[in-house]
Amino acid sequence: MPPSARRCLAIVLAAGEGTRMRSNRPKALHEVAGRSMLAHVLAAVTQAGAEGLALVVGPDRDDVAAAARSAATDAEIFVQSQRLGTAHAVLAARAALDRGWDDVLIAFADTPLIGPSTFLALRQALADGAAVAALGFEAARPDGYGRLIVDGQGALTAIREHRDASEAERATRLCNAGLMALSGAHALSLLTAVTPANAQKEYYLTDVVAGAHARGLATTYRLASEEEVQGVNDRVQLAAVEAVAQTRLREKAMRAGATMIAPETVFLSADTELGCDVTIEPHVVFGRGVRIADNVVIRAYSHLEGASVAAGATLGPFARLRPGADIAARAHIGNFVEIKASSIGAGAKVNHLAYIGDASVGAGVNIGAGTITCNYDGYSKYRTEIGEGAFVGTNSSLVAPVKIGAGAYIGSGSVVTEDVSPGALALGRARQVEKIGWAEEFRKEKAKK
Would you name the residues annotated as active-site residues? 352
**Interacting residues of 334 by C-beta distance below 8 A, sequence separation 6+:** 316, 319, 349, 350, 351, 352
- Give the whole-angstrom CA distance, residue 157 versus residue 182: 15
Reported for 143-151, long-range contacts at CB under 8 A and 24+ positions apart, including other chains, are: 145/175, 145/176, 146/175, 146/176, 146/206, 147/172, 147/174, 147/175, 147/176, 148/172, 148/174, 148/175, 148/176, 148/221, 150/174, 150/221
Peptide bond into 112 cis (omega under 30): no
Q: Look up residue 399 and give its amino acid.
A: V
User: Among positive and negative, which fits the CA dihedral 211, 213, 217, 218?
Assistant: positive
User: Of 254, 233, 230, whose CA–CA distance to 244 is shortest?
Assistant: 230
Q: What's at 109, amino acid-wise?
A: A
- Residue 105: which of 238, 7, 203 has the closest Cα? 7
Q: From CA 387, how far away is CA 398, in angstroms rounded?
A: 13
Specify the DSSP class assigned to residue 410.
E
Q: How far is Cα 445 from Cα 449, in angstroms, rounded to an integer?
A: 7
